Homo-oligomer: A and B are copies of this chain.
Amino acid sequence: MSGRADGYALDEIVARFGGQLIGDGDRRVRHVATLDHAGPDDIAFLANPKYRSRLKASRAGAVVLAPADASACALPCIVSDNPYGYYARVAGLLNPPAPAPAGIHPSAVVETRLDGSVSVAAGVCIGKDVRIGEGCVIGPGCIIGDGVAIGAHSRLHGGVTVYAGCVIGRRAIIHSGAVIGADGFGFAPEADGSWTKIPQIGRVVIGDDVEIGANTTIDRGALDDTVIGDGVKLDNQIQIAHNVHIGAHTAMAGCVGVAGSARIGKRCTIAGSAMILGHLTIVDDVNISVATLITKSIEQPGTYSGAMPFAPHRAWLKNAAHLRHLDAMADTIRALEARIAQLEKKS
């Protein structure tokens, strides 16, 4: 990260991002920090009113906060309806991505003519008929197959693999170890128990403004494409199977798995290690809780959960035994009901 050495005046920040400035517009800030750790060069933020009491002791140079908190702040502050989002933009301004030199490192093996503004690091392999938009940064050791297209101003960190024919939109950020476009898991069973591979001839097509985490895998489609919508955010170690569609602005946390041909709506949030079965549909604006297995389509927006609660081992052992016998327990209850009804009749 390498922001401007002398930082930005609050006036400049408000001119760029809006919001209402209270206090000295010439005050310069160079870093972002938490309210507790910020010093006079730092800008902090208050998004949760629960932490309002921390304003008093903060030594921050400035604070971004909501209208309701402004009166509690003696420091220079910028008032925004979305202080966390405002802070994110300021943090991005103060911490731009590390610059990367335009041009192709001599150790890279590039079989396509690229725009002069593209940065290709050491050890990169780029195949034939590849299109890479202006200002893209391809980190060390990336492997870009034949016919791939990557939109302008995207950044692939080191060690990303993109198989032949896949399409990535503008302003993508893809982290190390991500694999885009490996074969989907498709095999036809034979009578002798063996499997015949089904060629996977679809692509992965990724929209604009997508971020993909480290070691996440997105398989190419079997016949049609796997499609990742604009603004989708995928954390690390996520597995997206062939022919999945993910709607715009949906976010998934680490270790999520999505099975083949699932269709997930827009603006969904999928918490860590949730699993989504194949060939089902989830509408827009659905939230899936952590470690939840989705086994059928979801037709209403809302939050869905299904994790098993934990307990001290001894208590869990007892409960787990009953879990194996819930059906018997239900039978017992029904039998008791019958016996009580019998007694009630008599009494």
Q: Which residues of A contact B (CB under 8 A)?
A: 1, 32-34, 37, 82, 84-85, 87-89, 91-92, 94-95, 98, 105, 107, 109, 121-123, 125, 139-141, 143, 145-146, 157-159, 161, 163-164, 173, 175-177, 179, 182-183, 185, 187-191, 193-199, 201, 209, 211, 213-215, 217, 219, 223-224, 231, 233, 235-237, 239, 241, 248-249, 251, 253-255, 257, 259, 266-267, 272-273, 275, 277, 288-295, 302-313, 315-320, 322-327, 329-330, 332-333, 336-337, 339-340, 343-344, 346-347
Q: Tell me whether A308 and B307 are in contact (CB under 8 A).
A: yes
> Which B residues touch A182, using CB under 8 A?
157, 175-176, 213-214, 236
Q: Tell me whether B189 and A85 are in contact (CB under 8 A).
A: yes
> Which B residues touch A339, using CB under 8 A?
340, 344
Q: Tell me whether A308 and B323 are in contact (CB under 8 A).
A: yes
Q: Tell me whether A185 and B239 are in contact (CB under 8 A).
A: no
Instruction: Return the chain B residue nearest A330 by Cβ.
Output: B322
Q: Given the known A-B contacts A88-B198, A305-B313, are A141 and B157 also in contact in the complex, defined by CB atoms under 8 Å?
A: no
> Which B residues touch A235, using CB under 8 A?
185, 239, 241
| Shortest beta-carbon contacts, A-B, top 4 | A306-B310, A95-B199, A303-B313, A143-B158
Please report the C-alpha to C-alpha distance between residue A235 and residue B1 in the assembled complex, in whole angstroms.
30
Q: Tell me whether A199 and B308 are in contact (CB under 8 A).
A: no
CB distance from A103 to the nearest CB of B (A): 14
Please report the C-alpha to C-alpha distance between residue A146 and residue B233 in the assembled complex, in whole angstroms.
26
Q: Tell me whether B308 and A293 are in contact (CB under 8 A).
A: yes
Please report the C-alpha to C-alpha distance between residue A123 and residue B140 in the assembled complex, in whole angstroms.
10
CB distance from A275 to the nearest CB of B (A): 5
Please report the C-alpha to C-alpha distance between residue A123 and residue B126 in the assembled complex, in whole angstroms.
12
Q: Tell me whether A215 and B82 are in contact (CB under 8 A).
A: no
Please report the C-alpha to C-alpha distance between residue A239 and residue B184 in the assembled complex, in whole angstroms.
18
Please report the C-alpha to C-alpha distance between residue A106 and residue B66 in the assembled complex, in whole angstroms.
56
> Which B residues touch A292, using CB under 8 A?
310
> Which B residues touch A303, using CB under 8 A?
312-313
Q: Tell me whether B273 and A272 are in contact (CB under 8 A).
A: no
Q: Tell me whether B237 and A125 are in contact (CB under 8 A).
A: no
CB distance from A229 to the nearest CB of B (A): 11
Residue of B139, B163, B318, B340 near A157 (CB, 8 A) is B163
> Which B residues touch A272, using CB under 8 A?
257, 259, 275, 277
> Which B residues touch A249, using CB under 8 A?
193-195
Q: Tell me whether B88 and A196 are in contact (CB under 8 A).
A: yes
Residue of B1, B173, B329 near A333 (CB, 8 A) is B329
CB distance from A101 to the nearest CB of B (A): 12
Q: Tell me whether A275 and B304 are in contact (CB under 8 A).
A: no
Instruction: Return the chain B residue nearest A175 by Cβ.
Output: B182
The listed residue with most B CB atoms (<10 A of its CB), out of A219, A259, A291, A330, is A291
> Which B residues touch A143, using CB under 8 A?
139-141, 158-159, 176
